[in-house]
Structure 1
């Protein structure tokens, strides 16, 4: 009986790892918990788990490339990072986090139209992607499209109400937009 339980648990772990990405069934419960918690520390742990699940992929080559993209980004080798994330997207165009990471690099390079294109694809694959939603808000702020920025930040907070920087952006934008009306 004990061997059966061990095999069942190992099988469950293998299956859950194979499903890891924006389609992982674990995400529904995580998002429910993120919405329900009033504890900032717990919210941070849950949000980190969501990011971890989004980042995982069953393909070892994609896992390796994602890590290499992060290294390139940390080293400010942004052209290399774009190439790496483009390779991820070529291998699996249904992997939302590949699109999101490339969107982030395009944003850092000031390529806002390319970033927006990648954000749209990210959100088509994972509409709850609060990172992509808030990233699109930042793009709109840079482009001085304040109403659109506000809308994206508010959508991000609907998914993850525990982002103080985004909440501050919402408050700032509401003041700015009200000042323009007066």
Structure 2
């Protein structure tokens, strides 16, 4: 018999727990990269073939810089499955690219409610807050992302710069 949806969700959760534990103790960036990719692959799977196809279409639209099209698709994704964290995270990315930071932040917060370890969403939050001049908020977001995934080079660079800038402002 195939696993029940609850059994599948529990297996997915256990696998994510294991990957995050291993990511925290990874010896080097190469090892961490493999683990990060495995996490992203799990995050991208909604459990619904329909949602997965829509997310793929949205990704292709984003690559083609067809942000309004991607937004329309991702609106559908979060409407169909409001408990799919990556739907919210992807839509936040598109909203950021469209300049709608307020809605992007709201979507990131929803993604983080569903998956508090979403280091990509935290790094995205840091980028948005930094672009809005909230250096302390950005610094906090980047640090939270690094607590989960200590191998995010862009977050490390941002923390190094923001630490100095926030320190001078105090």
Q: Scaled by the length of structure 2, what TM-score is found? A: 0.93
1:19 CA drift (Å): 3.3
Q: In structure 1, list runs of 5 or more residues that go unmatched.
A: 1-6
Partner of 1:127: 116
Please give the per-residue CA displacement for 1:89-108, whole angstroms capped at 9, x wherever unaligned. Answer: 11110000000000000111
Partner of 2:169: 180
Q: In structure 2, list runs of 5 or more residues that go unmatched.
A: none
Please give the per-residue CA displacement for 1:102-141, whole angstroms capped at 9, x wherever unaligned. Answer: 0000111111001000000000000000000110000100
Matches within 5 A, 1:21-170: 24-170=13-159
Counterpart CA distance in 1 for 2:89 and 2:155 is: 18
1:15 CA drift (Å): 7.2
SS in 2 for 1:37: coil
SS in 2 for 1:138: helix
Q: 1:42 to 1:15 in 2, by over 3 A?
A: farther
RMSD over aligned Cα, in angstroms? 2.1
